[in-house]
Structure 1
Amino acid sequence: MPHSALMQPITLGRHTLKNRIVLPPLTRQRSGQPGNVPTDLMALYYQQRASAGFIVTEGTQIEPRGQGYAWTPGIYTNEQIAGWRKVTDAVHAKGGVIFAQLWHVGRVSHTALQPDGAAPIAPSALQALKVKAFIETGPNSGTLVEPSMPRELSVAEINELVALYAQAAKNALTAGFDGVEIHCANGYLVNQFISHHANQRTDEYGGSLPNRLRFLREVVEAVSAVVGPDRLGVRFTPLFTSTDQDRVYIGFVEDDPHGTYIEAIKVLEEVGIAYLSIAEADWDNAPDLPEVFRRDVRSTFSGRIIYAGRYTAERGAPLVAAGLADLIAFGRPFIANPDLPARIANGWPLNRLNAAALYGGTEEGFTDYPFYAEEREEALC
Structure 2
Amino acid sequence: MTTRRSIIMAGAAAMLAWLPAAASAQEPIRLGEMNSYTALPAFTLPYRKGWQLALDQINADGGIDGRPIEVISRDDNAQPGDAIRIAEEFVSSDRVAVIWGGFFSNVGLALTDFAKQRKVPYLATEPLADAIVWSAGNRYTFRLRPSTAMQSAMLAEEAAKLDATRWAIVAPNYAYGTDAVTAFKAELLKRKPDVEFVGEQWPPQGKIDAGPTVRALEAMKPDAIFNVTFGGDLAKFVREGEIRGLFEDRDVVSLLSGEPEYLEPLGAEAPEGWIVTGYPWYAIDTPEHKAFAEAYEAAYGEHPYAGSLVGYNSMLSLAAALRKAGSEDAEALVDAFEELEVVDAPSGTFRYRASDHQSTMGAWVGKTAVEDGKGVMVDWRYADGADYLPTDEAARALRPAE
**TM-score where L is the length of structure 1:** 0.28
More helix by share: 2
**TM-score where L is the length of structure 2:** 0.27
- Larger Rg over CA atoms: 2
